[in-house]
Amino acid sequence: MINMKLTHKQMSKCKVTHSALKGIMNDNLWDKNINKRDITRHFYEGVGAYTSGYMSEDAMMLYAKDRTKDHFISPQTYAYFILDNWNVFIDFDKFIKEWYFCSQTIAVTSEENDMLKGFTLNNADTGNVIKVTTSIINRYSDAGIKLYHDKVDVVDRFPFEVSKEFLKYEKENLLLV
């Protein structure tokens, strides 16, 4: 097991999400494009929304209740990586790391959140599957959003470590060129 301190409720949510994805994969539902939006939406609903401590400079000017929690890595997008690599993530100990990663949020304004959502497409032009117009590690800078953390101050680059495996997958399968 990884060294993460999850509450009983968080662990329950993670286990239920993993179990649901296991059922989806056992029923071969991921193989059909028509199911992908519903499946990735299920994963989105199954991850948490836990503050990372980072926020945009503009969000700093708002009351906490007026900030939007942005999952810094779109869970629906990341679900493609997990499910296309299910042979790895069927292992719960590997899955829980990715689930927690996807559960992290950055406080932004609602306008910034709309800009960030704009980097993800899912329509007839993309074959009704998720595609992105910029890498996860460039989303905030491409949107002109400066990030702040009270223990770090203003952050010059994307503050989270994204696996090489995901970045390779993103480049080969998700990123529109």
pLDDT tens profile 34-86: 999 999 999 999 999 999 999 999 999 999 999 999 999 999 999 999 999 99
d(CA 133, CA 139): 9
Mean pLDDT of the chain: 94
Assess if residue 82 is contained within a domain: yes
Q: How confident is the model at residue 151 (pLDDT cuts 50, 70, 90)?
A: confident
Is residue 33 helix, strand or coil? helix
- Predicted confidence at residue 4, as pLDDT, reads 65
pLDDT at 140 over 50: yes
pLDDT at 91 over 50: yes
- Percent pLDDT > 90 in the chain is 90
pLDDT at 1 over 60: no
Q: Identify the domain containing residue 86 by its residue range.
A: 8-174
What DSSP element (H or E) covers 153?
strand 153-155
Assess if residue 3 is contained within a domain: no
Q: How confident is the model at residue 2 (pLDDT cuts 50, 70, 90)?
A: very low
Across 3-12, 19-28, 71-80, 105-114, least confident range: 3-12
> How does DSSP classify residue 68?
E
Task: Compute the average pLDDT of residues 85-109.
Answer: 97
φ, ψ dihedrals at 168, nearest 5°: -65, -45
Task: Record the tokens describing residue 96, joined without a space.
Answer: 């829980």
Task: Compute the average pLDDT of residues 152-161.
Answer: 86
Assess if residue 1 is contained within a domain: no
Assess if residue 2 is contained within a domain: no
- Predicted confidence at residue 87, as pLDDT, reads 98
- Percent pLDDT > 70 in the chain is 98
6: left (phi over 0), alpha (psi -120 to 50) or beta: beta
d(CA 97, CA 167): 16
Report the helix count and the strand count for the chain, using DSSP H and E.
8, 7
- Predicted confidence at residue 3, as pLDDT, reads 40
Assess if residue 67 is contained within a domain: yes
Total count of domains within the chain: 1
